[in-house]
Amino acid sequence: MIKNMILKALKYGSPDWSITSGKTHHDFVDFENINLIVGKNATGKTKFIDALRWISDILDDEKTNSSMSNKDYYFDLFFDNGKDRVRYNVDFKRTQFVVNENLYINEIQKLNRKTGKLFYEKLGQFLDFEIDTKFLVSSRRDNLQQPFFELLHTWGRNLAHYRFGENMGRWESEKLHDFEDSGINFFKNLNKVRTIYKNGIKKYDNFEAIIIADMQKVDYNFRSITLKKKHLSEYLGLYVQETDLESLTNFDDMSQGMARAFSLLVQLNYSLMAKIPSCILIDDIGEGLDYERSKSLIELIIKKVEGSNIQLFMTTNDRFVMNSVPLKYWSVIHREGNKSVFYNYQNSKHTFDDFAFTGLNNFDFFATEFYRQGFEEFISTAQ
């Protein structure tokens, strides 16, 4: 089994937007296993999440698409799987598609697209290659000669992107025979909650009990979860028995907050129990939940992910969510023109540590912009 590739650092840019690191102002932004991306509206939180999703789709789908002809983009990514440090960068130009692509394993170059050189492991040497600009060289699936590309494919294939403010699988039609364990990748079908649950109880005897226990921790009291056909149709229905209700509650009819929490916990637990190495993106975490439930859900997610083979990125501009997540997980985005500047513990350690002496809550760290200037600006503002 391939170990999870943790995204340790990222450089990304396009003509209208790029990211950079605060304090040090390096081009690369560093990340940890658990990351909460906070910032005001229009600072780039969703853009950042979408950029990660986009490059993962490219690495998964193995070819470029028409959207690449509209603008110039570049990605430079550092990964670490505990054994190898992987650097991959790719440069797209409008109408020209892929103009450059490089891969390094432990600082040893394996691919140089500009010179047309690719390393063959079994031969122990570089050979010339030529490929259409609409395709990535990394799309090659030769595990004997280029096993290093499989690291990128695995990361791209198993990245999951949840928009917590949306339906999260409600009102989707899933047939009884959909997506059995036949190689279909669940993580690119995030609306298939019923199917994922179906596979969860099929593979793991305690899957239902874990979901019920987790929902109770978020103050949604379930007694049981049932899968059955919807009426006389061929479609799959998912129902829960709430403790204080006599009739079953259809997943489609759940309250917005309950459905989002349920959907996320079903899919997250499946990933954890299946030991699938993955990167999970959750945009607007806690949207639609009250403070206590939002706090409980986030604490539960962090506890589950810590020490696992999952890397987590969450975004929010909700003060209650911010107060629920320790600062060590934060990356604060500050917008400067067409750049999103990231301030986090990796590039602003002293500022983050100093804030503990103020006695204020986490939201104040954000609201006062302490993350940018530290005590000097904070004292000046207070006076």
Predicted confidence at residue 1, as pLDDT, reads 47
Residues 251, 170 contacting (CB under 8 angstroms):
yes
For the beta sheet containing 236-242, the strands, ordered from the edge strand earlier in sequence to the opposite edge, are 222-229, 236-242, 249-250
Question: Distance between CA 325 and CA 306 in Å, rounded?
Answer: 13
Write out residues in the chain with pLDDT < 70, as ranges.
Answer: 1-3, 25, 61-71, 171-190, 230-234, 376-383
pLDDT of residue 184: 46
Q: Please name the residues in contact with 153: beta carbons below 8 A apart, sequence gap of 6 or more.
A: 59, 60, 62, 138, 141
Cβ pair 133, 98 in contact under 8 A:
yes
HSE (side-chain half, CA atoms, 13 Å) at 206: 6
Closest CA to 9 of 24, 23, 25, 21: 21
Length of the chain: 383
- State residue 2's pLDDT score: 54
Helix, strand, or coil here: 292? helix
Task: Report which residue type is found at 112.
Answer: N
Q: Which amino acid is at 280?
A: I
Handedness of CA 298, 303, 305, 311 (dihedral sign): positive
**How does DSSP assign 141-183, residue by residue?**
--TTT-TTHHHHHHHHHH-EEEETTS-TTTT---BTTTT-TTT
Helix, strand, coil content of the chain in percent (nearest 5): 35, 30, 35
Nearest alpha carbon to residue 41 among 334, 345, 339: 334
For residues 154 and 88, the answer to whether their CB atoms sit within 8 Å is: no
Per-residue pLDDT tens digits for 284-322: 998 889 989 999 999 999 999 998 888 999 999 888 889
Residues 302 and 340: their CA atoms lie apart, in Å, by 25
Picking from 29, 39, 121, the residue whose alpha carbon sits closest to that of residue 314 is 39
What are the pLDDT digits (tens) for 25-81? Answer: 678 999 999 999 999 999 999 999 999 998 998 888 644 454 444 668 899 999 999
236-242 and 249-250: which strand pairing? antiparallel
List domains and CATH numbers for the chain. Answer: 6-347 (3.40.50.300)
Distances (CA, A) of 228 to 65, 87, 168, 267: 39, 47, 20, 19
Instruction: Identify the pLDDT of residue 378.
Output: 53
